[in-house]
Amino acid sequence: MGNIFAVTNQKGGVGKTTTTVNLAASLADSGKKVLMIDLDPQGNATTGCGIDKDAIEVSSYEVIMAEAKASDAIIRPEGLGFDVMPTNTDLTAAEVQLLDIKLREHRLRLALESSKEKYDFILIDCPPSLSMLTVNALVASKGVLIPIQCEYYALEGLTSLLRTIERVKQRANPALEVTGMVRTMFDARNNLANQVSRQLISHFQNKVFHSIIPRNVRLAEAPSHGLPVLNYDRTSRGSIAYMALASELMRRDKKATSAS
């Protein structure tokens, strides 16, 4: 198992893509070799790295359909310190096409076999569903990062996500673990956010990352420039928060690796 992490939550708009792109950039900035895989047909992580979706020659669609090797799809966007396997809306078709294929849940895992050793970290941005694409990400991963926006319904969808992770663990990937939950778009002045945050900690204790990602306008602006926030405004609160999260992930990962 390579050092692969799925960034997932079937809710849309909770900060999955923002977390994937900025964690990739922060890990790379710390000297790690990083690959970011865009597995959401919307391709927000792809455009967020400055890649023109219409100009992609080989995407994660061809890789997951075994029409191309992972290494043929991987590119290094100009000015960034990490590699990207981009996607576009072609990937929407994979959801349906995968249903008729043998080993359909293992396609991404198999495709990454030959490339994974080149990287210290591989991060997968998942679509907002518990679909076959998300299952492929979970089967390929050793850890799951769950971005959570601390609002009223935050904990509701979590049960079905954790159930899906447990099912994948039992059937296909016994090594799979929840690495941690990341509180995103956090506003410390908001009582409800604090209340949900406390609930999260009382349920999941040390599974909740200490680093909190604040609501920060620079994080929302950076994708429209096709840049991770580090490349857009290095001193912003968003940059600092994702650098802290990257450090925490590296520490947790080291601990987990030395324990196993």
Q: What is the dihedral of CA 126, 232, 208, 211, to 10 degrees?
A: 170
Residues lying near ligand ADP in the complex (CB under 6 A): 12-18, 44, 128, 184-185, 213, 215-216, 219-220, 223, 238
Closest distance to ligand ADP from the beta carbon of 48 (Å): 8
Q: Is 150 helix (H, G, I), strand (E, B) or coil?
A: coil
Q: Which does 3 bind (CB under 5 to 8 A by kind): ligand ADP, Mg ion, none?
A: none
145 strand-pairing partners: 7, 180
Instruction: Output 58 or 122, the one with its CB closest to ligand ADP.
Output: 122
For Mg ion, what does the binding mask look like between residues 10 and 49, x meaning CB under 5 A?
A: ------xx--------------------------x-----
Give the one entry of Mg ion, ligand ADP, none that residue 184 binds, where binding means its C-beta sits below a cut-off of 5 to 8 angstroms depending on kind: ligand ADP
Residue closer to Mg ion by CB (options 44, 179) is: 44
Give the three-class secondary structure for 103.
coil
Smallest distance from the beta carbon of 171 to Mg ion, in angstroms?
A: 26
> Shortest approach of ligand ADP to residue 114 CB, angstroms?
28
Q: Which does 77 bind (CB under 5 to 8 A by kind): Mg ion, ligand ADP, none?
A: none
Q: What does 107 bind: Mg ion, ligand ADP, none (CB cut-off 5 to 8 Å by kind)?
A: none
- What is the C-alpha separation between 197 and 216, in angstroms, rounded? 18
- The single-letter DSSP state of residue 208 is E
Beta bridge partners of 214: 186
C-beta neighbour count of 239 within 10 angstroms: 24
CB of 19 to ligand ADP, least distance (A): 7
Total of chain residues touching Mg ion, rule CB under 5 A: 3
Beta pairing partners, 4: 122
CB 29, min distance to ligand ADP, A: 18
Residue 79 interacting entry, from ligand ADP, Mg ion, none, C-beta within 5 to 8 Å by type? none
Give me the least distance between CB of 8 and Mg ion, in Å please.
10
Please enumerate, as own/partner, the contacts of 224-228 that have beta carbons within 8 Å and a separation of 24 or more.
225/50, 226/47, 226/48, 226/49, 226/50, 226/51, 227/48, 227/49, 227/50, 227/79, 228/21, 228/22, 228/24, 228/25, 228/26, 228/48, 228/49, 228/80
Q: What is the widest separation between alpha-carbon atoms in the chain?
A: 50
Instruction: Please give the residue ranges that form the binding site for Mg ion (CB under 5 A).
Output: 16-17, 44
